[in-house]
Amino acid sequence: MKLAVQVNEGPYQHQATDSAYHFTKAALEKGHEVFRVFFYHDGVLNGTRLTTPPQDDRNIVNRWVELAEKYDLDLVLCVAAAQRRGIVDDGEAERNGKDATNIAPKFRISGLGQLIEAAIQCDRLVVFGD
């Protein structure tokens, strides 16, 4: 079955991102297609490569990256939410005159249309949030 996942919260502050990850991983392991994981609101903060969590805790960002590498998963950060919260890729840095980027590998920034498209294309949308 074709699934879409929406994540509304940032890493560590709220367990929603953990739930979304474990759900997505389980779905992929069962052979389902995860068409897209769409990060909205503070969810875009999952896509920064600058985190350094404590050694004895999970690395939420890296987990997403590794899952995306293994399953060629589409991890999309909403551009409007990312601009408000300071998540930047090369294109955004150039457009908005920023002197650095912080996006993690395997993540991409795109528009809200990507969420709508996922909801249209997929058999199920599963939302994780606060």
Binding site for another protein (CB under 8 A): 1, 3, 6, 8, 12-16, 18-19, 22-23, 25-27, 29-30, 32, 40-41, 54, 56-58, 80-81, 111-113, 115-117, 119-120, 124-130
Q: Which does 58 bind (CB under 5 to 8 A by kind): its own copies, another protein, none?
A: another protein
User: What order do you get walking across the sheet with 33-39 strand by strand?
Assistant: 107-110, 75-78, 33-39, 2-7, 124-128
How far is the C-alpha of 48 from the C-alpha of 88, rounded, in Å?
A: 8
Q: Which is nearer to its own copies, 34 or 81 (CB)?
A: 81
Q: Which does 51 bind (CB under 5 to 8 A by kind): another protein, its own copies, none?
A: its own copies
Catalytic residue among 44, 78, 79, 87: 78
Beta bridge partners of residue 34, listed in sequence order: 3
How far is the C-alpha of 53 from the C-alpha of 35, rounded, in Å?
A: 28
**Is there a catalytic annotation at residue 122?**
no
Write out the catalytic residue numbers. Answer: 78
